[in-house]
Amino acid sequence: MSDTHRAIEAVWRIESAKLIAGLTRLTRDVGLAEDLAQDALVAALERWPESGIPDNPGAWLMATAKHRAIDHARRDKVLDRTHQQLGAELDDEQTTPEATLAESMDDAIGDDLLRLVFIACHPVLNTEARVALTLRLLGGLTTEEIARAFLVPVATMAQRIVRAKRTLSEAHVPFEVPRGPELEARVASVLQVIYLIFNEGYTATAGDDWIRPSLCEEAMRLGRIVGGLMPNEAETHGLVALMEIQASRLRARVGPSGEPILLLDQNRARWDYVLIRHALAALDRVQRSGGALGPYALQAAIAACHAEAPSVADTDWIRIAALYDALAQLAPSPVIELNRAVAVSMAFGPEAGLEIVDELRHEKSLESYHLLPAVRGDFLAKLGRHDEARAEFTRAAALTQNARERDLLLERAGSSGAPPGDGPAAA
C-alpha cells in the first residue's frame, strides 16, 4: 500500500462518520448517504495519488459527495426539496473557498453526528444490526473488518448491514435527536451497543484469540465521541471510565503465546496507569456531579477498586460486594447476580458465593452461559470438592466458543484446584 493510500485510509476513518452524518441530513436516507460517501472515497482513491491530498480532505469529500447526490437526483428525476437544497449549496460553492465551505459544514456537524448515533443504534434494529451499523457508519470499518471481528462470513455481515439500512428506511426513522422520555431509552441503547463492541474485544466470545484490542479501542473512541456530543449525560462518562479502566489491563491479560492471564495472576506493573488516571478522574467528576450513579458508573467504581489496589490482598472486596449489591438493585439480572457471587466469595468466603450461584443454576437465561459452571467450579475447588469442581470446569469448557478460554477451563478441570478465575466480577 502506498503512502497516499494509507493517508486516504486514515482520512476516511476520521472523516467518514461526519461525511455520512452530513449527507444523511441532506438526503434523509442513511443508505443513500453511505453510498454517496463511498463514491466520494472511490473518487479520492482515483484522484489523490496524482493530484495530492487536498488541504481540507473532509471538505473535498463532502463537495464530491454532494455532486454525486445531484447526479443521483437528476438520474431519478427527483426534483424535491433535497434536490433544490443540494443545488443551492453547490451553486454557493462555486464562489466559496474550500476552507469556508468546511467551516459552514462544521457548524452543524455535532448535531449531525449525534443524530447519526441515534439512527445507528435505533431500537427498531436488533442488537447484531445495531452493532454492525455502528461500526460501519461511525467507526468507518469495512464490511470485511466487521465480519472478521465477529467471526462471521463477509456475505453474512454484508446482508446484515443491508437489511439494517433497509429496515431504517422502511420504518421512516427520522433524522433527529429524540426528546423527553424517549431520549433516556435511546441513550441506553447507544451505550449498550458501544459496550457490546468493547466486551467483544475484551473477552472474545469465539475464535482463537482471547482479546481483540482493536475493538476495545474502537469502542472507547465511539464512547468519547458520544461523551463529547452529550456532555451532560453522566452515564456516557461512566461508560468511558469503565472501558478505560478495563482496557488498562489488556497488556497483562495475555501471555507471550496469547494464553489468558487471569486478573488475580496479572502483573500489575503492566497495567496502563495513564489510562487508569484518566478514567479515575472522569469517574470522580461523575461521582461529584451529585446525581445517583447509573449502571456503568457503578461498574466503573467496581473496576476502580481493582485499579487502585496495589495487590490482590489489598483489594477492598467488601466495597466491591457492596457496589454489586447496589448494581443488582438498580439493574437486576442473572449475570449481575453471578458477578455479585464472585465478589461475595472474595469478601466473605466461597460458601457465601456458592449459595448465590446455586440459586442461579435453574435460571434459563444462563443455561448456555459458560461462566456459571466456571464460577461454581471455582467455588467448589476452594472448598475442596474437587470431583464436583472438575465436572463444572469440563461443562464450562464445552459451552465456551473461545479456544483460549476452553484450554484454560480444561486445564483447570485437570487440576480442579487452580486459583480463582477472571470471572465476570473481575473481568
pLDDT digits (tens, 9 = 90+) for 186-207: 899 999 999 999 998 998 887 8
Rounded to whole angstroms, the Cα distance separating 318 from 166 reads 50
The answer to whether residue 157 scores a pLDDT higher than 90 is: yes
Residue 69's pLDDT is what? 82
Lowest mean pLDDT among 9-23, 86-100, 344-358: 86-100
Lowest mean pLDDT among 137-141, 233-237, 384-388: 137-141
Over residues 258-267, the pLDDT tens digits come to: 899 989 899 9
The answer to whether residue 138 scores a pLDDT higher than 80 is: yes
Residue 22's pLDDT is what? 87
- Is residue 183 classed exposed, middle or buried when 0-12, 13-18 and 19+ CB atoms within 10 A define those classes? middle
Alpha-helical (H) ranges within 52-123 are 57-75, 81-93, 98-106, 109-120
Percent of the chain predicted with pLDDT > 70 = 89
The average confidence (pLDDT) of the chain is 86
98 compared with 385, residue with greater pLDDT: 385
Strands in 235-368 per DSSP E: none
The answer to whether residue 312 scores a pLDDT higher than 60 is: yes
The answer to whether residue 107 scores a pLDDT higher than 60 is: no
288 compared with 242, residue with greater pLDDT: 242
**Which cell numbers hold the place of 353?**
458465593
**Average pLDDT for residues 213-226, to the nearest whole number?**
91
**Average pLDDT for residues 352-372, to the nearest whole number?**
94
- Is residue 121 classed exposed, middle or buried when 0-12, 13-18 and 19+ CB atoms within 10 A define those classes? buried
**Average pLDDT for residues 355-370, to the nearest whole number?**
94
The contacts of residue 260 (CB under 8 Å, 6+ apart) are 210, 253, 254, 404, 405, 408, 422
Q: Quickly count: other Cβ atoms within 10 Å of residue 343's Cβ.
A: 28
Beta carbons of 302 and 320 less than 8 angstroms apart = yes
Residue 418's pLDDT is what? 47
pLDDT band at 426 (very low <50, low <70, confident <90, very high): very low
Q: Quote the DSSP letter at residue 121.
A: T
The residue to which cell 496502563 is assigned: 272
**Which cell numbers hold the place of 300?**
466503573
pLDDT band at 419 (very low <50, low <70, confident <90, very high): very low
The answer to whether residue 333 scores a pLDDT higher than 80 is: yes
The answer to whether residue 78 scores a pLDDT higher than 80 is: no
